A and B are shown apart, each in its own frame.
Chain A
Amino acid sequence: MVTYKTVGGRIFKVINAIFLGSLAMISLVPIINILAISFSSGQAAAAGKVFLWPINFNLNAYKFVMSNPIFWNSFWVSIKRVIIGVPVNLILIILTAYPLSLTNKELKGRSFFSWFFMFSMLFSGGLIPLYLTIQMTGLIDSFWSLVVPSAVPVYYVIIMINFFRQVPKEIVEASEIDGAGYFGILFKIMVPLVKPAIATIILLCFILHWNSWFDGLLYIGQQNKQPLQSYLQALLARPIDVGALARNPEQWKVMQFVNERTVKSAQIFIATIPIMIIYPIAQNYFIKGGMLGAVKG
């Protein structure tokens, strides 16, 4: 690394560090602000006094949200969606990426299949035709509308292809002599060798499923079947009346201590917790190879 010996160089270094630190602050402050609001009293939040630290620290907004059955119901739908959707994605991504990572000689028609998948990313079907297709396959109002149509994320298939290609040929050839078929090679040799890639894909799919909301909004009419992000979509974008939202004695108890802002903030924060948990692990993998797999080509 080049070191800075001149005075100008030192000054640059300090200013640079301060500037980058402020950038990081700009990324974090909005989220910390929301967190602080969610722990503040309703009056302080309504007066717009909360900055980065809660005023009159309390958990009432969380108590209010937690005793809201619809919130937990949709939270559960989201969990279910991740638990079922991510393994489905993973299996299909592995199964699709492996043949496409081979040569044209090993898989005749590989270029055709590659283009088949590629083109599906380049050109999209319209909203109405897609909806009608979902309807024709009987998935409207079904939990499976959240899993099946998005079961093959082509972009992640491409990432996986690039990971498979990084596995040295010699290892695969050695096992071919042992007489293993392609299924054997894939699951006994390739999959264990690309564990970091699989971790990356799992995390990407987790985030994809956790953050999706449009499909839930479009395909699922009943609110109690919608995933969390779809439920929140309807809630966060417009003014809500906390009083009308309260449905049970637990909520009535804390109702006077909360307001629209604290309740919304608490919901935002709860919905972000899974991402916050997974992010520190995830970003390590992403830097190591997740997106590079896609770009190196």
Chain B
Amino acid sequence: MKRLIIRKKRKSNQKRLLYFKKAMPLYLMLIPAIIIIFIYCYIPMAGNIIAFQKFSAAKGLFSSKQTWVGLDNFKYIFSMKNTHQVIYNTIFISFFKIILSIIVPLIVALLLNEVTKTWYKRTVQTIVYFPYFISWVILSGILFDILSPSTGIVNSILSVFNIDPIYFLGNENTFPWVVIISDTWKNYGFNTILYLTAITSVSQELYESAAIDGAGILKRMWNVTIPGILPIIILVSVLSLGNILNAGFEQVFNLATPTVYSTGDIIDTLVYRMSIGASGGASQYSAATAIGLFKSFISFIMISIGYYLAKRYADYRVF
């Protein structure tokens, strides 16, 4: 009996050895990426502890000499006058961005699907997808130019209709909408193609039988196409939950000027300015990190909910 156990053990040890000998290369392949992700993602993540300290850069990131202050930084940021406004701005902008990023591509995809000439469909598709690949640095340069109240093309067009020049990027009422609309303009091509590809997998027979039943174009869209791609619509919607506090740093950072901060300043730009000490005074490392951590935490919860719902209702798995 004892011998049998030993033999069994030896056998399983041997098996394990054989497995590791064979699988060793796989672990070797993973090592470089693990090291890089560990250093540049996990260490900064752990570095978020400075949100609970009165951080002094001279002492070093994980130094034991830092003073712990508990939740003081969080109390401070939520007592700050503009924090609530900034959170409101962030949610306002990202909420409308999310809604439009679901609806606009859906409408465009449904309409593109009705185009029978393939070359026309492809051309439109290719063109509307293009701005997606241009950086916000370049696009903001373009927006500054075309929206300029004196020389911009948009105001020239408006003047044809006798509308006085509007300083879109310098007016706090119009600024958030410029951000929302230009973001939709840049990105809707991506989801349009996503929806279009999904539509091609909807059975053609359903369309034909719908046509025989005398269903009009709108009825067909509503009763055949939309139900057919509903899983992907749900997927896009729930996965965008994680963006509720992402109003788009790259975009707002490049477009916003101090005159529109009251409606255009978002969490990320505030964190940036506090970090580099741009708003006057010294850099507020700990307070800035506290706001950032607050945002990451909420986003993490929203993303998790999103993935959970995606798995539950659209059978979606990342890995």
Contact = CB atoms under 8 A, between A and B. Distances in A.
The answer to whether A and B come from one shared complex is yes
Given A122-B303, A130-B47, A95 B30 contact: yes
A154 B37 contact: yes
A248 B224 CA distance: 65
A47 interface: yes
B99 interface: no
Nearest to B117: A17
B241 to A, nearest CB: 12
Interface in B272-313: 272, 275, 285, 288-289, 292-293, 296, 300, 303-304
B319 A100 contact: yes
Interface string A246-288: 0000000000000001001101100110010001101100110
A37 interface: yes
A117 B33 contact: yes
Contacts of A166: none
A211 interface: yes
Interface string B126-147: 1111110111011011111110
B190 to A, nearest CB: 7
B318 A118 contact: yes
Interface string A200-212: 0000000100111
Contacts of A26: 185
Given A9-B217, A283-B126, A92 B32 contact: yes
A7 interface: no
A132 B232 CA distance: 40
B48 A129 contact: yes
Given A102-B26, A137-B39, A161-B319, A211 B135 contact: yes
Contact of B140 (A16, A31, A98, A236): A236
A275 B27 CA distance: 36
Contacts, number: 268
B29 A2 contact: no
A61 to B, nearest CB: 13
B116 interface: yes
A133 interface: yes
Given A129-B50, A133-B44, A27 B127 contact: yes
A9 to B, nearest CB: 7
Given A151-B36, A261-B145, A279 B130 contact: yes
B142 to A, nearest CB: 5
Given A27-B185, A48-B156, A295-B194, A114 B319 contact: yes
A195 interface: no
Contact of A229 (B27, B135, B208, B220): B135
A128 B194 contact: no
A227 B115 CA distance: 42
Given A128-B50, A130-B44, A20 B111 contact: yes
Contact of A214 (B23, B43, B146, B250): B250
B137 A152 contact: no
B166 interface: no
A99 B254 contact: no
Interface in A105-159: 106-108, 111, 113-114, 116-118, 120, 122-134, 136-137, 148-149, 151-152, 154, 157-158
Nearest to B216: A8
Given A24-B123, A24-B124, A126 B43 contact: no
Given A48-B151, A137-B39, A31 B61 contact: no
Contacts of B68: none
Contact of B115 (A17, A45, A148, A154): A17
Interface residues of B, number: 96
Given A2-B208, A117-B37, A237-B144, A27 B128 contact: yes
B30 A113 contact: yes
B48 A207 contact: no
A158 B319 contact: yes
B37 A120 contact: yes
Contact of B48 (A9, A125, A233, A272): A125
A30 interface: yes
Most buried by B among A34, A108, A128: A128
B140 A126 contact: no
B16 to A, nearest CB: 9
A203 B303 CA distance: 27
A297 B108 CA distance: 25
A10 to B, nearest CB: 11
Interface string A11-32: 0110011011101101111110
Contacts of B143: 30
Given A28-B127, A126-B48, A16 B114 contact: yes
A116 B135 contact: no
A13 B217 CA distance: 10
A128 B316 CA distance: 34
Contacts of B316: 295, 297
A29 B275 contact: no
A213 interface: yes
Given A133-B44, A295-B235, A29 B145 contact: no
Contacts of A34: 142, 145-146
Contacts of A271: 138
Contacts of A57: none
Interface string B95-129: 00000000000001001101110001001111111
5 contacts: A16-B115, A30-B142, A129-B48, A137-B39, A295-B235
Given A33-B146, A126-B48, A214-B249, 16 more contacts: A13-B115, A17-B115, A17-B120, A20-B120, A34-B142, A47-B151, A98-B26, A100-B30, A118-B319, A123-B296, A125-B43, A126-B50, A129-B289, A157-B33, A182-B26, A237-B141
